Amino acid sequence: MNALHLWIPPNVLWVLGAIVAVLAVATGIVAVMQRGDSTGKHAELAARVKSWWVLVAIFAIAISFRRGIAIAFFALLSFLALKEYLSLIPTRRADRRVLFWAYLCVPLQYWWVWKQWYHMFLIFIPVWAFLFIAMRMVLRGETKDFLRAAGTIHWGLMTMVFGLSHLAYLLVLPDGSNVPAHGAALLLFVVLLTELNDVLQYVWGRTLGRHKVIESVSPKKTVEGLVGGALSTTAVTVAIAPLLTPLTFTDSIAVGLMIGFGGFIGDVTISAVKRDIGVKDSGALIPGHGGILDRIDSLLFTAPLFFHFMKYFYF
């Protein structure tokens, strides 16, 4: 391990290994399901599992070696997510160059993370970018649909840049504190549980789902999926919290519920955005999943929630 100059501690490595083992089991199960079936109804599930291998590999490589590489990776993720969002929503021709400034917020926001400039990290998008983008837009002089354009651009910055950058700030959060914790462990913890929660809610909903929870936004989501998923996510949270985080037993229950229900809200919020625009998937980058937004939708809520819980109670 020393020869590889890994940045992550052994516990993170062990959890990554466990994820690979779970994926291997899932791949085996899907292969068995596909064997006796010539209708191809499990093809999307198979594509999904295959994509998980790629996503896990990219994530593991991104976080393992250097903190700077990991922060740069999340900057790239923010950029791709923002690009997907801005390509999806109706934008005005007059705002083409305004969007350029919006993109420029990505490297700056992650620069504050790298420099651990916490105050700037917190206010840059909500205050400076908010005011600057509005100024840039109004100087262009186009008033038709001004409020809609200003609102949608800022919403994109708040979610895809500000929201996601909380994941990167988890990497530097333990610096200078005497709480025994590693940034990569905190990051892995919230990403793993959020994605697991998505899968568990899907599985619970598919097997036991009866009652629609929010039909006008996401017709396939059920109360059974939501509650079953959130509770089983909480159980997993309690089990692995001692391995990756300084969370106490009661706090780990709170965090589990927060990720379970927060992830659901993130998921249906992006569903509402897509429904408003009139598309099913946000893109086609990840086979079986859709676009980047389809994959990170839950993280847009769980990342800031988990970050501020940790920041307030532990760091």
Catalog residues that contact another protein under the rule CB under 8 A: 79-80, 83-84, 86-93, 96-97, 99-100, 103, 277-279, 283-285
Q: What are the CA-CA distances from residue 110 to residues 40, 115, 122 (Å)?
A: 43, 9, 11
Helix, strand, or coil (residue 247) = coil
Helix, strand, or coil (residue 212) = strand
| Distance in Å, CB of 200 to another protein, minimum | 30
| Distance in Å, CB of 243 to another protein, minimum | 36
| Distance in Å, CB of 63 to another protein, minimum | 21
Distance CA 48, CA 301 (A): 23
| Distance in Å, CB of 194 to another protein, minimum | 24
| Distance in Å, CB of 91 to another protein, minimum | 7
Of the two residues 7 and 85, which places its CB atom closer to another protein in the complex? 85
Of the two residues 97 and 211, which places its CB atom closer to another protein in the complex? 97
DSSP state, residue 7: -
Work out the burial of residue 21: count CB atoms within 10 Å of its CB; fewer than 13 is exposed, 13-18 middle, 19 or more buried: exposed
| Distance in Å, CB of 309 to another protein, minimum | 33
Task: Report the DSSP beta bridge partners of residue 290.
Answer: 286
Structure tokens that stand for 159 in this block: 């979610």
Q: Which amino acid is at 264?
A: F
Of the two residues 225 and 291, which places its CB atom closer to another protein in the complex? 291
Closest to 9 measured CA to CA, from 63, 69, 73? 63
Closest to 133 measured CA to CA, from 158, 160, 101, 108? 101
Task: Report the DSSP beta bridge partners of residue 212.
Answer: 222
| Segment (H or E) for 238 | helix 223-244
